[in-house]
Amino acid sequence: MDWATVTSTAITGAVGIAGVVGGVITARIAGSSARKSVQLNITAEADRARLADKRRIYARGVSALDTAMQAEKHAQSVEASGAATAVVEDQHASAVEFRAKANDTLRSASEAVSELQLMVESLDTAELAKDALDNVSHPDVYASRRNKLLATLRDDLGKEARRAYQLT
C-alpha cells in the first residue's frame, strides 16, 4: 500500500467534502439574508403606503372643515342680511339654498373628520378634529382649533415618515 497516495486521496476527499459543506452553508446564509431583505422591503413599502393614506385622509379632513366653515360663513352672512336672495362670492342663491349648502358641506366635513379620527393614533388629535368641526360657525375659534389640529397632524405625519423611510 502506497501511503502517499492514500493520504493524498484522503486529503483531496476531505477538501472536497469541506467545499460542498461550505457551499451548502453559504447558500443557506444567502437565502436567509435574501428573505430578510425582501421582508424589510415589503414592510417599508407598506409603511410608505400607510403614510400616503394618512396624508390623503388628513388633507381631505382639513379641506372639508375649511369648506364647511366657508359655507357656514356665507349662510350666516345671508341670514344676517335678512334678504331672501343674495350674491356671495359670485354665488346667487336664496338664504334657504345657502343654508342647505352649508348643511351639506357640514355633513361631508363630519364624514371626513370621522375618517380622520379613525386614522389618528392620539385621542387628543381626534378630539381636536371634532372640536374644529364643532366650531365651524365661529371663525375665530375655528381658526385656532384648525391651527392646533394642523400642527398635530403634521407632527404625526413627520413621525410616520421618519419610521417609513428609516427602514430602507
- Judged by DSSP in three states, 84 sits in coil
As given in the structure block, the three cell numbers for residue 42 are 415589503
CA distance 61 to 149: 10
Comparing C-alpha atoms, which of 130, 123, 88 is closest to residue 109? 130
Indicate yes or no: pTM above 0.85. no
Four-CA torsion 63, 68, 69, 70, nearest 10 degrees: 90
Could you list the pLDDT tens digit for every one of the 168 residues in the chain?
677 777 777 777 777 787 777 777 777 777 777 777 777 777 888 888 888 999 999 999 999 999 999 999 888 888 888 776 666 665 667 778 888 889 999 999 999 999 999 988 889 999 999 999 999 999 899 999 999 999 999 998 888 777 666 654
CA distance 67 to 80: 20
